[in-house]
Structure 1
Amino acid sequence: MNFGFGKDWQELGKFEKLTDEARSIVFYAENKASINHFRLLISELTEEKNLQICYVTSVKNDPMLSSKNKNIFTFYIGDGTARTKFFLTLKAKILIMDMPDLETFHIKRSKVFPVHYVYIFHSMFSIHSYLRKGAIDNYDTIFCVGEHHKKEIRETEKVYGLKPKKLITYGFGRLDTLLHEKQKFHQTNPDNDKLIIIAPSYGKYNLLEVCGLE
Protein backbone atom coordinates (compact mmCIF):
# COMPACT_ATOMS: atom_id res chain seq x y z
CA MET A 1 0.00 0.00 0.00
CA ASN A 2 1.96 2.97 -1.29
CA PHE A 3 0.34 5.80 -3.21
CA GLY A 4 3.25 8.17 -3.65
CA PHE A 5 6.86 8.99 -3.00
CA GLY A 6 6.62 12.31 -1.18
CA LYS A 7 8.37 13.20 2.05
CA ASP A 8 5.47 11.84 4.11
CA TRP A 9 5.81 8.38 2.58
CA GLN A 10 9.60 8.46 2.82
CA GLU A 11 9.39 9.33 6.51
CA LEU A 12 6.81 6.59 7.09
CA GLY A 13 9.17 4.13 5.43
CA LYS A 14 11.99 5.17 7.77
CA PHE A 15 9.71 4.76 10.77
CA GLU A 16 8.61 1.28 9.71
CA LYS A 17 12.24 0.17 9.29
CA LEU A 18 13.01 0.84 12.96
CA THR A 19 13.47 -2.09 15.30
CA ASP A 20 10.56 -3.13 17.50
CA GLU A 21 12.42 -1.75 20.52
CA ALA A 22 12.94 1.65 18.89
CA ARG A 23 9.21 1.79 18.11
CA SER A 24 8.10 0.86 21.63
CA ILE A 25 6.84 4.32 22.67
CA VAL A 26 5.27 6.50 19.99
CA PHE A 27 3.74 9.97 20.22
CA TYR A 28 1.47 11.24 17.44
CA ALA A 29 0.97 15.00 17.02
CA GLU A 30 -2.12 15.96 15.04
CA ASN A 31 -1.54 19.72 15.10
CA LYS A 32 0.71 22.50 16.42
CA ALA A 33 -0.93 22.47 19.84
CA SER A 34 -0.18 18.79 20.49
CA ILE A 35 3.39 19.35 21.65
CA ASN A 36 2.12 21.65 24.41
CA HIS A 37 0.37 18.66 25.95
CA PHE A 38 3.22 16.22 25.33
CA ARG A 39 6.24 18.31 26.31
CA LEU A 40 6.47 17.46 30.02
CA LEU A 41 5.87 13.75 29.47
CA ILE A 42 8.40 13.60 26.64
CA SER A 43 10.94 15.42 28.81
CA GLU A 44 10.41 13.00 31.69
CA LEU A 45 10.70 9.92 29.48
CA THR A 46 13.72 11.00 27.42
CA GLU A 47 15.71 13.12 29.87
CA GLU A 48 14.89 11.82 33.34
CA LYS A 49 14.34 8.14 32.48
CA ASN A 50 16.65 8.10 29.43
CA LEU A 51 14.12 6.24 27.27
CA GLN A 52 13.91 6.45 23.48
CA ILE A 53 10.67 7.57 21.87
CA CYS A 54 9.33 8.17 18.38
CA TYR A 55 7.58 11.46 17.67
CA VAL A 56 5.36 11.21 14.59
CA THR A 57 3.71 14.42 13.41
CA SER A 58 1.31 15.73 10.78
CA VAL A 59 2.72 19.25 11.22
CA LYS A 60 5.25 20.13 8.51
CA ASN A 61 7.00 22.82 10.58
CA ASP A 62 6.71 21.06 13.92
CA PRO A 63 9.58 22.36 16.11
CA MET A 64 10.18 18.83 17.38
CA LEU A 65 11.42 17.84 13.92
CA SER A 66 14.61 19.79 14.66
CA SER A 67 15.03 18.48 18.20
CA LYS A 68 18.62 17.73 19.26
CA ASN A 69 17.50 15.22 21.88
CA LYS A 70 19.29 11.96 21.05
CA ASN A 71 16.42 9.95 22.54
CA ILE A 72 13.80 11.36 20.18
CA PHE A 73 13.32 9.98 16.65
CA THR A 74 11.09 12.34 14.65
CA PHE A 75 9.00 11.68 11.54
CA TYR A 76 6.69 13.83 9.42
CA ILE A 77 3.83 11.81 7.85
CA GLY A 78 1.42 14.57 6.80
CA ASP A 79 -2.35 14.15 7.07
CA GLY A 80 -3.09 12.11 3.94
CA THR A 81 -2.83 8.46 2.95
CA ALA A 82 0.58 8.01 4.60
CA ARG A 83 -1.01 8.89 7.94
CA THR A 84 -3.91 6.50 7.31
CA LYS A 85 -1.45 3.67 6.63
CA PHE A 86 0.61 4.64 9.69
CA PHE A 87 -2.37 4.01 11.94
CA LEU A 88 -3.63 0.87 10.19
CA THR A 89 -0.25 -0.89 10.19
CA LEU A 90 1.31 0.51 13.36
CA LYS A 91 3.53 -1.85 15.33
CA ALA A 92 4.29 -0.28 18.71
CA LYS A 93 3.75 -1.08 22.36
CA ILE A 94 2.23 2.31 23.16
CA LEU A 95 0.79 5.15 21.08
CA ILE A 96 0.18 8.42 22.92
CA MET A 97 -1.90 11.20 21.39
CA ASP A 98 -4.31 14.03 22.15
CA MET A 99 -6.56 13.42 19.14
CA PRO A 100 -10.04 12.12 20.06
CA ASP A 101 -12.44 10.03 17.93
CA LEU A 102 -10.17 7.02 17.44
CA GLU A 103 -12.12 4.47 15.34
CA THR A 104 -14.95 6.98 14.73
CA PHE A 105 -13.78 8.24 11.33
CA HIS A 106 -10.80 7.26 9.14
CA ILE A 107 -8.23 7.08 11.95
CA LYS A 108 -8.33 3.49 13.19
CA ARG A 109 -6.59 1.24 15.66
CA SER A 110 -3.83 -0.92 14.24
CA LYS A 111 -5.05 -3.96 12.32
CA VAL A 112 -1.75 -5.83 12.65
CA PHE A 113 -0.57 -5.34 16.23
CA PRO A 114 -2.09 -5.03 19.75
CA VAL A 115 -1.02 -1.42 20.31
CA HIS A 116 -1.92 0.13 23.68
CA TYR A 117 -3.56 3.51 23.03
CA VAL A 118 -3.15 6.38 25.50
CA TYR A 119 -5.19 9.59 25.35
CA ILE A 120 -4.06 12.89 26.87
CA PHE A 121 -6.71 15.59 27.29
CA HIS A 122 -6.12 18.94 25.62
CA SER A 123 -8.64 20.66 27.88
CA MET A 124 -9.50 20.71 31.58
CA PHE A 125 -13.23 20.98 30.76
CA SER A 126 -15.90 18.37 31.40
CA ILE A 127 -15.60 15.73 28.66
CA HIS A 128 -19.18 15.85 27.37
CA SER A 129 -19.07 19.65 27.11
CA TYR A 130 -16.68 19.70 24.15
CA LEU A 131 -16.07 16.19 22.78
CA ARG A 132 -18.34 14.02 20.64
CA LYS A 133 -20.17 11.06 22.10
CA GLY A 134 -17.75 8.12 22.15
CA ALA A 135 -14.74 10.34 21.41
CA ILE A 136 -12.44 8.51 23.84
CA ASP A 137 -14.23 5.15 24.07
CA ASN A 138 -11.62 3.31 21.99
CA TYR A 139 -8.56 4.19 24.04
CA ASP A 140 -7.05 1.78 26.55
CA THR A 141 -5.62 4.30 29.02
CA ILE A 142 -6.71 7.87 29.71
CA PHE A 143 -4.46 10.45 31.36
CA CYS A 144 -7.09 12.41 33.28
CA VAL A 145 -6.74 16.01 34.39
CA GLY A 146 -8.50 15.26 37.66
CA GLU A 147 -11.22 13.33 39.46
CA HIS A 148 -13.97 15.01 37.40
CA HIS A 149 -12.70 13.21 34.29
CA LYS A 150 -12.45 9.90 36.11
CA LYS A 151 -16.03 10.15 37.35
CA GLU A 152 -17.38 11.04 33.91
CA ILE A 153 -15.55 8.18 32.22
CA ARG A 154 -16.61 5.58 34.78
CA GLU A 155 -20.24 6.73 34.58
CA THR A 156 -20.14 6.58 30.77
CA GLU A 157 -18.70 3.06 30.90
CA LYS A 158 -21.48 2.01 33.25
CA VAL A 159 -24.30 3.52 31.17
CA TYR A 160 -23.11 2.14 27.82
CA GLY A 161 -21.61 -1.13 29.05
CA LEU A 162 -18.09 -0.25 27.91
CA LYS A 163 -14.91 -2.08 28.82
CA PRO A 164 -13.26 -0.26 31.77
CA LYS A 165 -10.23 1.78 30.82
CA LYS A 166 -7.12 2.37 32.88
CA LEU A 167 -7.44 5.88 34.31
CA ILE A 168 -4.42 7.82 35.52
CA THR A 169 -4.57 11.16 37.33
CA TYR A 170 -2.03 13.07 35.27
CA GLY A 171 -2.93 16.74 35.59
CA PHE A 172 -2.77 19.28 32.78
CA GLY A 173 0.61 19.73 31.13
CA ARG A 174 0.10 23.28 29.92
CA LEU A 175 -0.93 24.47 33.37
CA ASP A 176 1.97 22.63 35.00
CA THR A 177 4.34 24.35 32.54
CA LEU A 178 2.96 27.78 33.45
CA LEU A 179 3.34 27.06 37.15
CA HIS A 180 6.92 25.91 36.59
CA GLU A 181 7.72 29.06 34.59
CA LYS A 182 6.21 31.20 37.35
CA GLN A 183 8.39 29.48 39.94
CA LYS A 184 11.48 29.92 37.74
CA PHE A 185 10.61 33.59 37.22
CA HIS A 186 10.51 34.24 40.97
CA GLN A 187 13.80 32.41 41.45
CA THR A 188 15.60 34.49 38.81
CA ASN A 189 13.79 37.75 39.65
CA PRO A 190 13.45 37.70 43.46
CA ASP A 191 12.94 41.48 43.71
CA ASN A 192 10.29 41.65 40.99
CA ASP A 193 6.87 40.51 42.17
CA LYS A 194 5.02 41.69 39.05
CA LEU A 195 4.29 39.25 36.24
CA ILE A 196 2.10 40.22 33.29
CA ILE A 197 0.30 37.37 31.52
CA ILE A 198 -1.34 38.06 28.16
CA ALA A 199 -4.06 35.59 27.18
CA PRO A 200 -5.16 36.50 23.66
CA SER A 201 -8.29 34.33 23.17
CA TYR A 202 -9.37 33.16 19.68
CA GLY A 203 -10.85 34.61 16.51
CA LYS A 204 -10.16 37.22 13.86
CA TYR A 205 -9.90 40.10 16.33
CA ASN A 206 -7.83 38.48 19.07
CA LEU A 207 -4.93 40.49 20.48
CA LEU A 208 -2.14 38.76 18.56
CA GLU A 209 -3.97 39.13 15.24
CA VAL A 210 -4.65 42.83 15.83
CA CYS A 211 -1.39 43.90 17.49
CA GLY A 212 1.03 41.16 16.51
CA LEU A 213 4.02 40.66 18.79
CA GLU A 214 4.77 44.37 19.21
Structure 2
Amino acid sequence: MDFELILKNIKKHIALNEAEKRYFTSQLRERSIAKKEMLLEQGNSCRNIYFIRSGSLRAFYPTQEGKESTIMFGIADWWITDMYCFINQKPALLNIEALEDSRLWSLDYNRLQNLFIEIPKFERFFRILMQNAYCREQLRALDNITFSGAERYTRFVEKYPLISEKITQKDLASYLGITPEFLSSFKRKKEAT
Protein backbone atom coordinates (compact mmCIF):
# COMPACT_ATOMS: atom_id res chain seq x y z
CA MET A 1 0.00 0.00 0.00
CA ASP A 2 1.11 3.54 -0.70
CA PHE A 3 1.55 5.46 2.55
CA GLU A 4 3.82 8.14 1.11
CA LEU A 5 1.32 11.02 1.28
CA ILE A 6 0.21 10.40 4.87
CA LEU A 7 3.79 9.86 6.08
CA LYS A 8 4.80 13.11 4.39
CA ASN A 9 1.91 14.81 6.20
CA ILE A 10 3.07 13.38 9.54
CA LYS A 11 6.67 14.42 8.83
CA LYS A 12 5.61 18.09 8.75
CA HIS A 13 5.37 17.96 12.56
CA ILE A 14 7.12 14.86 13.92
CA ALA A 15 9.89 12.48 12.87
CA LEU A 16 9.22 8.75 12.89
CA ASN A 17 11.73 5.93 12.70
CA GLU A 18 11.00 2.91 10.48
CA ALA A 19 9.46 0.83 13.29
CA GLU A 20 7.15 3.71 14.24
CA LYS A 21 6.11 4.18 10.60
CA ARG A 22 5.27 0.47 10.36
CA TYR A 23 3.26 0.54 13.57
CA PHE A 24 1.39 3.68 12.55
CA THR A 25 0.51 2.45 9.06
CA SER A 26 -0.62 -0.91 10.50
CA GLN A 27 -3.31 1.00 12.41
CA LEU A 28 -4.81 2.60 9.29
CA ARG A 29 -7.75 1.22 7.36
CA GLU A 30 -8.34 1.96 3.70
CA ARG A 31 -11.68 3.35 2.57
CA SER A 32 -13.02 4.46 -0.80
CA ILE A 33 -16.25 6.34 -1.31
CA ALA A 34 -18.07 7.46 -4.42
CA LYS A 35 -19.14 10.98 -5.29
CA LYS A 36 -22.24 11.99 -3.27
CA GLU A 37 -21.77 9.06 -0.85
CA MET A 38 -21.99 9.91 2.84
CA LEU A 39 -18.88 9.15 4.87
CA LEU A 40 -20.64 10.15 8.09
CA GLU A 41 -24.29 10.89 8.79
CA GLN A 42 -25.68 13.01 11.56
CA GLY A 43 -26.75 10.87 14.52
CA ASN A 44 -24.46 7.94 13.67
CA SER A 45 -21.43 7.02 15.75
CA CYS A 46 -18.38 9.12 14.96
CA ARG A 47 -15.62 6.56 15.46
CA ASN A 48 -13.01 7.63 12.89
CA ILE A 49 -10.76 10.44 11.84
CA TYR A 50 -9.92 10.35 8.13
CA PHE A 51 -6.89 11.32 6.09
CA ILE A 52 -7.85 12.19 2.52
CA ARG A 53 -5.57 10.43 0.04
CA SER A 54 -7.43 11.69 -3.03
CA GLY A 55 -10.70 13.39 -3.80
CA SER A 56 -12.59 15.96 -1.78
CA LEU A 57 -15.25 16.03 0.93
CA ARG A 58 -17.59 18.47 2.60
CA ALA A 59 -18.81 18.51 6.20
CA PHE A 60 -22.16 20.18 6.70
CA TYR A 61 -24.89 20.70 9.26
CA PRO A 62 -28.50 20.25 8.13
CA THR A 63 -30.69 22.97 9.62
CA GLN A 64 -34.26 22.48 10.83
CA GLU A 65 -35.41 24.52 7.83
CA GLY A 66 -33.96 21.89 5.51
CA LYS A 67 -30.95 23.96 4.46
CA GLU A 68 -27.33 22.89 4.70
CA SER A 69 -24.65 24.93 6.40
CA THR A 70 -21.22 23.87 5.17
CA ILE A 71 -18.74 23.77 8.03
CA MET A 72 -15.59 22.66 6.23
CA PHE A 73 -14.13 21.17 3.11
CA GLY A 74 -11.35 18.62 2.84
CA ILE A 75 -9.01 17.80 -0.04
CA ALA A 76 -6.08 15.45 -0.55
CA ASP A 77 -3.48 15.66 2.22
CA TRP A 78 -6.03 16.98 4.77
CA TRP A 79 -7.67 15.35 7.79
CA ILE A 80 -11.43 15.42 8.35
CA THR A 81 -14.00 14.26 10.90
CA ASP A 82 -16.70 15.66 13.16
CA MET A 83 -14.03 16.55 15.70
CA TYR A 84 -16.25 17.36 18.68
CA CYS A 85 -18.12 14.08 18.34
CA PHE A 86 -14.99 12.06 17.56
CA ILE A 87 -13.09 13.32 20.61
CA ASN A 88 -16.09 12.93 22.92
CA GLN A 89 -17.34 9.72 21.28
CA LYS A 90 -20.82 11.17 20.73
CA PRO A 91 -23.23 10.72 17.81
CA ALA A 92 -22.27 12.89 14.85
CA LEU A 93 -23.64 16.40 14.60
CA LEU A 94 -22.35 16.76 11.04
CA ASN A 95 -22.74 14.95 7.77
CA ILE A 96 -19.62 14.36 5.67
CA GLU A 97 -20.20 13.81 1.97
CA ALA A 98 -17.82 12.99 -0.88
CA LEU A 99 -17.76 15.75 -3.49
CA GLU A 100 -15.99 13.38 -5.87
CA ASP A 101 -14.76 9.81 -5.76
CA SER A 102 -12.36 9.77 -2.82
CA ARG A 103 -9.81 7.47 -1.20
CA LEU A 104 -9.13 7.73 2.52
CA TRP A 105 -7.15 6.29 5.38
CA SER A 106 -9.22 5.94 8.55
CA LEU A 107 -8.00 5.74 12.11
CA ASP A 108 -10.58 4.77 14.70
CA TYR A 109 -10.76 6.27 18.17
CA ASN A 110 -9.39 3.24 20.04
CA ARG A 111 -6.48 2.80 17.64
CA LEU A 112 -5.67 6.49 18.02
CA GLN A 113 -5.64 6.17 21.82
CA ASN A 114 -3.31 3.16 21.53
CA LEU A 115 -1.12 5.12 19.12
CA PHE A 116 -0.73 7.84 21.76
CA ILE A 117 0.46 5.19 24.23
CA GLU A 118 2.77 3.31 21.84
CA ILE A 119 4.22 6.39 20.13
CA PRO A 120 3.68 9.40 22.42
CA LYS A 121 4.96 11.88 19.83
CA PHE A 122 1.64 11.38 18.02
CA GLU A 123 0.05 13.40 20.82
CA ARG A 124 2.22 16.29 19.62
CA PHE A 125 1.19 15.68 16.01
CA PHE A 126 -2.53 15.70 16.75
CA ARG A 127 -2.18 18.64 19.16
CA ILE A 128 -0.63 20.65 16.32
CA LEU A 129 -3.46 19.60 13.99
CA MET A 130 -6.03 20.73 16.57
CA GLN A 131 -4.22 24.03 17.16
CA ASN A 132 -4.12 24.73 13.45
CA ALA A 133 -7.79 23.85 13.06
CA TYR A 134 -8.74 26.08 16.00
CA CYS A 135 -6.77 29.00 14.56
CA ARG A 136 -8.34 28.47 11.12
CA GLU A 137 -11.84 28.49 12.63
CA GLN A 138 -11.09 31.57 14.73
CA LEU A 139 -9.90 33.43 11.62
CA ARG A 140 -12.99 32.26 9.73
CA ALA A 141 -15.25 33.59 12.51
CA LEU A 142 -13.41 36.93 12.38
CA ASP A 143 -13.75 37.03 8.59
CA ASN A 144 -17.50 36.43 8.96
CA ILE A 145 -17.95 39.42 11.27
CA THR A 146 -15.43 41.69 9.54
CA PHE A 147 -15.83 41.22 5.79
CA SER A 148 -18.72 41.40 3.37
CA GLY A 149 -19.87 38.27 1.53
CA ALA A 150 -18.03 39.44 -1.59
CA GLU A 151 -14.81 39.96 0.36
CA ARG A 152 -15.16 36.55 2.04
CA TYR A 153 -15.55 34.94 -1.39
CA THR A 154 -12.44 36.69 -2.75
CA ARG A 155 -10.38 35.76 0.31
CA PHE A 156 -11.54 32.11 0.13
CA VAL A 157 -10.63 31.76 -3.56
CA GLU A 158 -7.21 33.34 -2.94
CA LYS A 159 -6.51 31.15 0.09
CA TYR A 160 -7.96 27.86 -1.23
CA PRO A 161 -7.76 27.87 -5.04
CA LEU A 162 -7.73 24.04 -5.22
CA ILE A 163 -10.91 23.77 -3.19
CA SER A 164 -12.76 26.49 -5.06
CA GLU A 165 -12.20 24.57 -8.31
CA LYS A 166 -13.80 21.40 -6.91
CA ILE A 167 -16.93 22.67 -5.19
CA THR A 168 -20.31 23.85 -6.36
CA GLN A 169 -21.38 27.45 -6.05
CA LYS A 170 -24.18 26.31 -3.72
CA ASP A 171 -21.70 24.58 -1.35
CA LEU A 172 -19.35 27.56 -1.39
CA ALA A 173 -22.18 30.00 -0.69
CA SER A 174 -23.28 27.78 2.19
CA TYR A 175 -19.75 27.86 3.64
CA LEU A 176 -19.47 31.64 3.24
CA GLY A 177 -22.89 32.31 4.78
CA ILE A 178 -24.33 33.94 1.67
CA THR A 179 -26.96 32.91 -0.83
CA PRO A 180 -26.04 31.20 -4.10
CA GLU A 181 -27.87 34.03 -5.90
CA PHE A 182 -25.69 36.67 -4.24
CA LEU A 183 -22.56 34.70 -5.11
CA SER A 184 -23.67 34.26 -8.71
CA SER A 185 -24.45 37.97 -9.06
CA PHE A 186 -21.11 38.97 -7.53
CA LYS A 187 -19.17 36.60 -9.79
CA ARG A 188 -20.96 37.94 -12.89
CA LYS A 189 -20.11 41.53 -11.92
CA LYS A 190 -16.51 40.59 -11.22
CA GLU A 191 -16.14 38.82 -14.59
CA ALA A 192 -17.64 41.83 -16.39
CA THR A 193 -14.98 44.18 -15.03
TM-score (normalizing by structure 2): 0.30
Larger of the two Rg values belongs to structure: 1
